[in-house]
Amino acid sequence: MHFRTNTLPLALTALCAALAAAGVHAQAVADAPATPALSTVVVTASGNEQELREAPASISVITREEIERRPVQELAELLGTVEGVTLSRSGNLVPGVQLRGLGSAYTLMLIDGKRVNATSAMFRGNDYDTGWVASDEIERIEIVRGPMSSLYGSDAIGGVVNIITRPVGKQWRGSARVETVLQQDKQAGDSRLAGFSLAGPTATDLLGLKLTGAYDQRDADGAINSLPASGTRQTGLQHIRNRLFGAQLALTPDTRQSITADVDTSRRDHAGFLMERDAVALRHKGQWGFGNTELTYAADEIRNLTGMVTGQVNPNKASTSNLSGKLNLPVAWGNQFVTAGFDVRHEKLNDPANLRGLPGTAGFNASPETSIGQWALFVEDEIRISDKLAITLGNRFDHHENFGGHNSPRAYAVYHLSDAITVKGGVSRAFRAPTLLQGSPNWGSVSCGSATVGCYIVGSNAIKPETGTSQELGLQFAQGIHSGGLTFFNTDLKNMIDITNRTADRALAPSYDNFVGYLPDGRPIFRYQNIASVRSRGLEASWAARPSAAWNLRANYTYTDAKNTSGAIALPLTYRPRHVVNLGADWRATGQLTVSGSLRYHSAQYISVPSNGQNKVEKAGYAIADLTAGWRITDALTLRGGILNLTNKTFDRTTSADFNEDGRRYYLALHAKF
């Protein structure tokens, strides 16, 4: 076992600091009354709060307790334990979230219902959108599997991940976490994290304040992959450094209204690609005699300080502003609950290096900016036919400045066969508009592996939005100590926006449908195009049991058959294992000690599928087991530790499309609450 001498002193120093900070408050926490357990309520699957079994969608919830139980430097790894979720690998090897076999671009990321999207600022290898909030401040994560464009519009074809943070509350609370993950292989990179949260009232029943912050770092791997006969060693994971800070003011003028104002700033460094984000939001919620209202203004600016090409510095800046509102209105006639709303969004990209037009043309270097405006109206009606049956009908009309109007209807039914068994199913349509750069003919970037002798790719205003149609049918049960579900799904995606058709071969280039021409230096130019159709179908199963107060068992299984069906022969999509199994158990050995174990299995998956279907590269299946424990030292302090990847299952990365799994690692953390 090899521990780095510079890591342990840092971890011990941080742990001691948190211990001292929390000790002052230990007695106060011990005397505080216990908080009663609340029913599971979700907000992402419809326009209002609902119990999980009533929600008109397939939805999973990751609780705060689950987040606290294991290291969560990369939130995507935790999301990968949910049924229906698989992980892709971007160019820098950091995982991206895929829902029901569709890529990470089709997963809409939200924080408290507000959209987060860094795609325009970092168009390839974008793994940034799962890390804009401190894990210590997350109340729960709701994962909606399946299209949700009827409520959320573009980008929600695969589904929605909504990270919900903790409210300020009526009493002061605080927490601090420090943790480290130490690699057994001295060539692999260690990790460390520190975070805090502080919230409470500054004026009783009127004004509250919340402050959060976090820093995490993952060192770069050394020579963890063997040197092949070709003499070219594949790299491991490069360094990651993230820091963030947030503040919220919560005003409650009276019992009917609440106003929150948020300011957040973040900086993320992934392998030398630097991204900064500043965001503000203002939200008003009202509870009136006729119904409830919500009005939100949110804006952010994301600065890519490095650019997109390794070895070059070409900064850009993307900004988004959004005004949205909704009304929840119970209707006595027909026992209905109506949600109606609007959404107005404006996006702008400033990219002097890539928004220049085509070199050698009259419009070259005309303007480094492009922008898009869009608005939407949506309505959803939950009709309670009887105590057992509810039908939800909804539609969203989006109007895009460049691509016109688009409807996203949805119909969903929830039927309670009994108090224990619920049947759910529905049909929905969804769409995804081209991004700022995909739809701009003035945008272009080097590609084909070289900035000088490769090829050049450009946006196009001729492409159409992608559309998806999805069906699902599922059954959920909760009886005694057992609960679970089984869901079948099918999604057909049309007009996939694609740029895979490109080559540096100057003679071959004109044979490609999306060939545009040549740069003055002879490099071929290719544009984004609509070529692909994708079909993804499968099955999701989950089970959980509480055989006693001391034991909590859980398991889920996902079968995914995702194929590119645009050609004569359907081709499998990369990074989509057909079978994924997650097993877990928590044992409360004593009032102070909890032990948790988990096992995740991924079947074989393709990591490279050429467009001709020949010479596909497949990665063998594998299983990884983790064992962690938590010791509650006092009511205010919990020490956690464990061994990750118990059996040290690892393998060499042999091609650029391949990825490494970290080997055996040792996890140590201290969490203080006060």
In terms of DSSP bridges, do strands 292-304 and 515-518 run parallel, antiparallel, or are they unpaired? unpaired
Q: What is the pLDDT of residue 431?
A: 85
Taking the C-alpha atoms of residue 554 and residue 484, their distance in angstroms, rounded to an integer, is: 9
Q: 416-427: per-residue pLDDT in tens?
A: 999 999 999 999
Lowest-confidence segment of 23-32, 185-194, 197-206, 274-283 by average pLDDT: 23-32
Taking the C-alpha atoms of residue 7 and residue 173, their distance in angstroms, rounded to an integer, is: 30
The β-bridge partners of 597 are 585, 627
Q: What is the average per-residue pLDDT within 630-637?
A: 94
- The number of angstroms, rounded, from the C-alpha of 323 to the middle of its chain's C-alpha atoms is 22
- Does the pLDDT at position 3 exceed 50? no
Q: What is the pLDDT of residue 225?
A: 85
Q: What is the average per-residue pLDDT within 304-317?
A: 83
Please give the mean pLDDT across all residues of the chain.
Answer: 86
Ordered DSSP codes for 278-289: EEEEEEEEEE-S
Determine contact, residues 584/65, Cβ cutoff 8 Å. no
The β-bridge partners of 541 are 486, 557
SS (H, E, C) 524-571: EEEECEEEEEEEEEEEEEEEEEEEECCEEEEEEEEEEEEEECCCCCCE
Q: What is the pLDDT of residue 115?
A: 85
SS3 44: coil
- Does the pLDDT at position 8 exceed 70? no
Lowest-confidence segment of 34-48, 336-350, 553-567 by average pLDDT: 34-48
With a CB cutoff of 8 Å and minimum separation 6, the contacts of 480 are none
Q: What is the average per-residue pLDDT within 304-310?
A: 81
With a CB cutoff of 8 Å and minimum separation 6, the contacts of 169 are 199, 200, 201, 208
Determine contact, residues 577/547, Cβ cutoff 8 Å. no
Task: Place 5 in a pLDDT band, splitting at 50, 70 and 90.
Answer: very low
Q: 501-519: per-residue pLDDT in tens?
A: 888 899 999 998 889 899 8
Q: 88-113: per-residue pLDDT in tens?
A: 876 556 778 889 998 888 888 888 88
Residue 547: Cβ-neighbour burial (10 angstroms; 0-12, 13-18, 19+): exposed
- Higher-scoring residue by pLDDT: 150, 594: 594
With a CB cutoff of 8 Å and minimum separation 6, the contacts of 76 are 87, 94, 95, 96, 97, 127, 130
- Helix or strand (DSSP H, E) at 65: helix 64-69
Cα distances from 303 to residues 74, 108, 115, 274, 369, in angstroms, run: 21, 20, 17, 8, 14
Task: Place 123 in a pLDDT band, splitting at 50, 70 and 90.
Answer: low
Q: 278: which 2 tokens?
A: 């500043």
Q: What is the pLDDT of residue 38?
A: 36
Residue 178: Cβ-neighbour burial (10 angstroms; 0-12, 13-18, 19+): buried
Q: 183: which 2 tokens?
A: 């690699």
Q: Is the dihedral of CA 630, 633, 637, 639 positive or negative?
A: negative
Task: Place 19 in a pLDDT band, splitting at 50, 70 and 90.
Answer: very low
- Higher-scoring residue by pLDDT: 470, 437: 470
- Does the pLDDT at position 494 exceed 50? yes
Q: What is the average per-residue pLDDT within 606-617?
A: 83
Buried b (16+ CB within 10 A) or exposed e, 600-635: bbbbebbbebeeeeeeeeebeebebbbbbbbebebb
Q: What are phi and psi of 149, to 5 degrees?
A: -65, -20
- Higher-scoring residue by pLDDT: 93, 438: 438
pLDDT cut 70: percent of the chain above it = 91
Determine contact, residues 121/316, Cβ cutoff 8 Å. yes
E strands, 358-481, in order? 369-384, 389-400, 404-416, 421-432, 444-447, 455-458, 466-479
- Does the pLDDT at position 484 exceed 60? yes
- Does the pLDDT at position 383 exceed 90? yes
- Does the pLDDT at position 498 exceed 90? no
CB-side exposure of 500: number of CA atoms within 13 Å? Answer: 14
- Higher-scoring residue by pLDDT: 557, 47: 557
Taking the C-alpha atoms of residue 114 and residue 146, their distance in angstroms, rounded to an integer, is: 19
Q: Is the dihedral of CA 568, 572, 578, 580 positive or negative?
A: negative
Q: What is the average per-residue pLDDT within 396-405?
A: 89
Domains and CATH numbers, the chain: 7-228+235-410+492-498+533-673 (2.40.170.20)
In terms of DSSP bridges, do strands 114-116 and 138-145 run parallel, antiparallel, or are they unpaired? unpaired
Taking the C-alpha atoms of residue 625 and residue 623, their distance in angstroms, rounded to an integer, is: 7
Residue whose pair of structure tokens reads 């990847």 in the numeric block:
645
- Does the pLDDT at position 659 exceed 50? yes
Lowest-confidence segment of 3-7, 65-69, 582-586 by average pLDDT: 3-7
CB-side exposure of 433: number of CA atoms within 13 Å? Answer: 30
- The number of angstroms, rounded, from the C-alpha of 401 to the middle of its chain's C-alpha atoms is 27
In terms of DSSP bridges, do strands 524-527 and 455-458 run parallel, antiparallel, or are they unpaired? parallel
Q: What are phi and psi of 236, to 5 degrees?
A: -95, -160
- Does the pLDDT at position 282 exceed 80? yes
Lowest-confidence segment of 5-19, 34-48, 252-266 by average pLDDT: 5-19
Cα distances from 424 to residues 144, 414, 485, in angstroms, run: 14, 5, 10
Q: What is the average per-residue pLDDT within 365-383?
A: 89
Taking the C-alpha atoms of residue 596 and residue 553, their distance in angstroms, rounded to an integer, is: 10
pTM of the model: 0.87
Taking the C-alpha atoms of residue 615 and residue 610, their distance in angstroms, rounded to an integer, is: 7
Q: What is the pLDDT of residue 91?
A: 56
Q: What is the pLDDT of residue 122?
A: 67
Lowest-confidence segment of 273-282, 374-383, 580-589, 606-615 by average pLDDT: 606-615
Lowest-confidence segment of 48-52, 209-213, 587-591 by average pLDDT: 48-52
Taking the C-alpha atoms of residue 406 and residue 400, their distance in angstroms, rounded to an integer, is: 8
- Does the pLDDT at position 132 exceed 80? no
Taking the C-alpha atoms of residue 588 and residue 602, their distance in angstroms, rounded to an integer, is: 28
Residue 168: Cβ-neighbour burial (10 angstroms; 0-12, 13-18, 19+): buried
Q: What is the pLDDT of residue 358?
A: 73
Determine contact, residues 57/67, Cβ cutoff 8 Å. no
